[in-house]
Amino acid sequence: MTSQSDVSLTNSSNLSVKNGSALKLYLVTDSLMCQKLGLVQTVCEAIEGGVSFVQLRDKKADDDELYQIACELKEAIAGRVPLVINDKVHIAKKAKLDGAHIGQGDLSVTEARHILGPDAWLGLSINTLSQLQHAHNNHLDQLNYFGLGPVFATHTKPDHASPLGLSGLDDLAKASLLPTVAIGGIQLDNARQVYQTHCDGIAVVSAICAADDPKIAAQDLLQQHVLAQ
């Protein structure tokens, strides 16, 4: 299912209108898991397989390293899909990425939007209905989508909040006034169930980054979307 949030939000200068369809298969990077092929090749092959959105996430790199990675990845992606960065809004601005994704403990939505400007993508992590309501009441016109999760327990983010489960995820997705992407513990064997909720898409890390063939891994995940319809 898809939510009713497939509405145009803002226009990007170099990408398609911001709507839920861009979130269908959202890749969050992990440099260690991508070591076999390298980060850039892994991401590019995943895009060939159908990844529709990429978030650069690297908690171990310092700002200078992250900026260099961001620039290299941006050049390789060449505008084929949106490229945002996790947390480091100032690097998104400096590297001229397509936007950023922030969590509840990061800088404020208002500050992030001010840094990024009006046309960039800005996503916010949501784990509870109260967080969602707060975002609706205070930042609806500053955000483009919500990342809902974790759906399941995941080793890629050991300090995560309590898992929502499929029912909790669906409740949040149905309540959301913006497009939503589900994240946390999503693999090939449970992707279809997540696609059957009201989320607009799924976000994965190890399901693609740790795959022997990122292109095929992406294609297999998208097949679960087809089967979920």
Query: Which residue ranges are tagged as binding site?
Result: 55-59, 86-87, 106, 125, 154-157, 185, 205-206
DSSP class of residue 164?
-
Give the whole-angstrom CA distance, residue 179 versus residue 51: 17
Orientation angle between helical segments 129-139 and 109-116, nearest 10 degrees: 50
- Which helix H or strand E contains 99, and what residues bound it? strand 99-102
Give the whole-angstrom CA distance, residue 61 versus residue 51: 24
Q: Which of 95, 94, 96, 92 is nearest to 123 (CA)?
A: 92
The residues carrying an active-site annotation are: 57, 125, 157
The torsion region of residue 34 among left (phi > 0), alpha (psi -120 to 50) and beta comes to alpha
Give the whole-angstrom CA distance, residue 215 versus residue 204: 14
